Structure 1
Amino acid sequence: MKKTTAFLIAFLVVSSSVIYAAEIKVAAVEFNPTPKDVDGNVQKIVKAVTDASVNGAKLMVLPEFSVTGFGFSPTNPNDLDTIPGRATAALERVTRKYNNYVVVGMYERDTITGVIHNSAALVGPKGLVGKYRKNQLPEGDYDTAAPGNLGFPVFNTDIGKIAILICFDDSRLQSLLIPSLRGADILAMPIGSDMMPKFEKMSNGNHSTISNIAVLAGWTGMNVVASNQTGLISFPAMGLVDQFTGGSTIWDNNGKQLSQSKVSTWTKPLPPETIYATIDADKKSEQKAFWLKHRRPELYQVYNLYKAPVDPAANNTQNQISALLVQYDPSNGNVEANAKKVDSLIEKNQNVFNLAVLPFNSFLGNVKLNKTNIQQYAEPLNGKSYALASDMAKKYKTYLLFSMPEVSDGKYYETAILFDFNGKQAGVYRKTHLNDAEQSWATAGNNLPVFATNELGRVAVVLDDEVRIPELTEVYALNRADLILVPTAYDGKQYGSPVNIPKGLVPDASNRGMNIWFDMAKYSQAYTLVANYRQDSDKEFVRSAVYSLVPEEGYYPPNIAPNKETAHQVMFTTHANNTFWINQQSLVVGRRYDLATPLTLDMQGDCFKEWQANSARVGLCKGN
């Protein structure tokens, strides 16, 4: 009896009143459906799921539209399925037998309204657990499916809390943040990522969800099981053959890639395969813990605003940007010496530039500030460091972003100042999201400004580890920033990791840099410029860099500084090309603002707690 008890304690973990298996085997099951052949597809799906069940999988995820196929406009109800329906009934027989779970995608016809949705069902040991309807639809889906109307449910199961997103849902960061905020341990992602040749008109719509999610799991703090179609697939109704990339992948909640299928190409199309990995749904995500502890929903109210079709804050002016990202070895605490070194690095540049971005606490270096030494290092605005930075901007006739610990009226702040080319103050930002050490001595700012300039466009600032708060990225997108400037002192240890997209999904030149900075540019659709101190590491993800808007297309990959002291020059034009699959206008206009409210609720309030506790319910709370 004692041995049995000890085994059960070792195997089971109690979390949030639900008993979870400590570790579970999961599978991404690639599958290529035949359009409009529901019965034939279901038969093949049951075979694939049974095989994975025999291999011990407790959660299996199949691709988008596995049951019905897609690329057609349904005219016959039998070409679609319902939830519950033919597929869920067949899968239920498997999940009851093997005591496991399946997520499968389909065109779903609502049995009451007849409305069609791009949906996914979760089937478990006791039958149908629930369903999700895709919220963020790409242009092609609007020909057939209506946007989802079930919100972002999270389903409580005995293997963890499971959320579902479908393919293009990942195009808006809020789609991932809401399930994670609601407590999701595992994100199941049925995907249909393709890649059209560049000479095809439809190539502008290429969006590789399977590569995109590769850099998101660690930021959002969820285990992710993503399954894609693979190989060459014919769509007679559309008059084309499309190439699906495969590359199905499983990640843990710290962003570690656990398993990946082979990547399919035009010249080497590959058959579907099933991949496996073991995840621990109870394992802590340090990034998620930091995010939940330090987020400030009262600053994110712009999420609730309808910003389409005309947004007066939008800026479409093309600005030529030539920026210097100053990367140097500081003499810690020596303001004069550091300012002199920064000046010498800028002076060496003989090319035209109109912006210089300096690291975090720009002339102070890597001094660990605390309540004992802050009086020694903090300065008022218009103090010595401020004057040195102002003079530098005026000397080089450039905009310059500088940061420092500030003292004002007896309070201390971490503050960034943007100077214009005359050395005049063009904007001030006080760090709004303080880490634990900073909270012991600093006061948080309460504004997220975007500074309007004629020469650079609209400029926002994120200070150092504030990049760990993903809402800032979307808030600045919604407030139409063209540039996000990130002064940092990043050593690569506390957070973040290298971009690690399964090889072959994107050009190698784009598979570089630090995952959070990479994501910030994509999800804000604002060029993200990072200035860091030189680190004692040859790993390039810790270096100063500029990240572009659509790096997966390969036209503007991350531009990363060499591992040396330098004023690294980067050049680009804002609003130069709006023909890619996404741009800031599309991102803002197509966003489901009506579903974003949970991100703005007080986490200690009754409404938030009720929404989180009733995690599969559509509405927020009583009276809503």
Structure 2
Amino acid sequence: MQASDRYRLSASATWVASVQMEPAIGAVAANLARSIELVEMAAAQGAQLVVLPELANTGYMFESREEAYALAEPVPEGRSSQAWIALAQRLGIYLVAGISERAGGRLYNSALVTGPDGYLGTYRKLHLWGDENLYFEAGDLGLQVFDTELGRIGVAICYDGWFPEVYRRLALRGADIVAVPTNWVPMPGQTRDGAVIAHALTMGGAHSNGLTVVCADRIGTERGQTFVGRSVIVNSQGWTAAGPASVDQEEVLLAPIDVKATRRARQLNDFNHLLRDRRPDIYDEQSGATAGLRQR
């Protein structure tokens, strides 16, 4: 089925794409060139929003902060940022791309957000995983939501998805879609072809908040670290809309979403609404979370 056929079948659909690729550590020019090829492929199939993996321009397994600093670049002024910004403008799409960001003497595991009219903003990963703590500072820009003609787009990166507060806060701020650049690694007990914990966390976050979540993972083994691949797009009901992708192949996943239907679906029935039914008077940290502990 061609992209034009898909649009005729669902005129109200927004087509989102997850790009699964294999960046090589330190090969910024080659990684950037490959990412452009894959984004062009996604756009040619009708994608209006494309998500690239975490640290898509640099690779992930840095040996030192010095190496990470040398490979990082300012956002949006750096080479990778400028290339992705120009790409999104040329293709008329929105693009979320994982990038190693240098801001003065500080380093961040970040995501560039750009669109048809240019740069929209930067998200900095809040929850650092493993040795990332040796190289990066924790994000200091909070959880942002970007208003676009496609809907409201939030961003999280990899380990951020282990914290349900991230999806909840983005939903409360009005997000319709959450773009997740990621570099998932095997968790204890995980087998090559078995269940992926990240999928369960993504499906739960999507369902319990009424969000479409677009996860773009990487593949391959880098300096001894294996990545699981298996990128996925999950709809606002919590079901898989595309994928999971393979464990070892570069792929483009594409799925349609209906933002209006997404917002309506948060009303589960005549009585229940996913966001209005919350009881922050009981479990919000500012009001009632510790009350039971004090009584014991």
Q: Specify which of 275, 281, 288 is matched with residue 292 of structure 1.
A: 275
Whole-Å Cα distance in 1 between the matches of residues 82 and 41 of structure 2? 18
Aligned counterpart in structure 2 of residue 80 of structure 1, from 44, 68, 72 = 72
Task: Give the SS at the match of 1:161.
Answer: strand
Q: For the residues of structure 1 that align with 2:284 and 2:183, how far apart are their CA atoms?
A: 33
How far the C-alpha of 1:196 sits from its partner, in A, is: 6.5
| Conserved? CA contact 1:74–1:80, under 8 Å | no
Equivalent residue number for residue 122 of structure 2? 131
Q: Which residue pairs with 1:121 in the alignment? A: 112
Q: Could you say which structure has the larger radius of gyration?
A: 1
What are the ranges of 5 or more consecutive residues in structure 1 without an aligned counterpart? Answer: 1-9, 12-21, 199-206, 265-269, 308-312, 314-447, 454-624
- 2:221 corresponding residue in structure 1: 233
Paired residues of 2:209 and 2:266 also in contact (CA < 8 A): no
> Which residue is 2:239 aligned to?
256
Cα distance in 2, alignment partners of residues 56 and 263 from structure 1: 22
The alignment's C-alpha RMSD in Å is 2.6
- 8 Å CA contact 2:53–2:216 kept in 1: the answer is yes
Contact in 1 for aligned 2:187/2:197 (Cα 8 Å): no
Match of 2:133 among 142, 167, 173: 142
Q: Distance in 2 between matches of 1:82 and 1:125?
A: 21
Quick check: 1:171 aligned with 2:162?
Answer: yes
Aligned-pair distance for 1:107?
Answer: 1.6
Higher RCO (CA-CA < 8 Å; seq separation 6+): 2
How many residues were matched structurally? 274
What does the per-residue CA deviation read over 1:91-143, in whole Å, with 9 as the maximum and x for residues that have no partner?
12221122111111122111xx3200111111100111111001112232101
Gaps of 5+ in 2: 1-9, 190-195
Answer yes or no: is the 8 Å Cα contact 1:46–1:94 preserved in 2: yes
1:273 aligns with 251
Aligned position for 1:575: none
Q: Does 1:220 align with 2:220?
A: no
Give the Å deviation of 1:287. Answer: 5.2
SS in 1 for 2:60: coil
Does 1:50 pair with 2:45?
no
Q: Residue 3 of structure 2 corresponds to which residue in structure 1?
A: none
Q: Secondary structure in 1 aligned to 2:273?
A: helix
1:261 & 1:99 partners in 2: Cα distance? 27
Rounded to whole Å, the distance in 1 between the matches of 2:84 and 2:44 is: 14
Q: CA-to-partner distance for each residue in 1:503-523, whole Å, 9 max, x for gaps? A: xxxxxxxxxxxxxxxxxxxxx
Deviation of the 1:167 alpha carbon: 0.6
Which of 10, 34, 39 does residue 24 from structure 2 map onto?
A: 34
Distance in 2 (CA, whole Å) between partners of 1:303 and 1:211 is: 29
Q: Sort the Cα spacing of 1:303 and 1:260 in 2 relative to 1 into closer, same or farther, 3 A.
A: farther
What pairs up with 1:319-468 in 2 under 5 angstroms?
Answer: 449=292
SS of residue matched to 1:286? coil
Q: What corresponds to 1:63 in structure 2?
A: 53
Measure the CA separation in 1 of the matches of 2:24 and 2:100: 13
Q: Distance in 1 between matches of 2:71 and 2:231?
A: 26
Contact 1:167 / 1:189 at 8 angstroms: preserved in 2? Answer: yes
Say whether the 8 Å CA contact 1:254–1:287 is kept in structure 2: no
Partners of 2:209 and 2:162 in 1: CA distance: 14
Q: Distance in 1 between matches of 2:65 and 2:250?
A: 26
Query: Deviation of residue 452 (structure 1)?
Result: 8.0
4+ residue stretches of structure 1 with deviation over 4 A? 450-453
Q: In 2, distance between residues paired with 1:304 and 1:141? A: 33
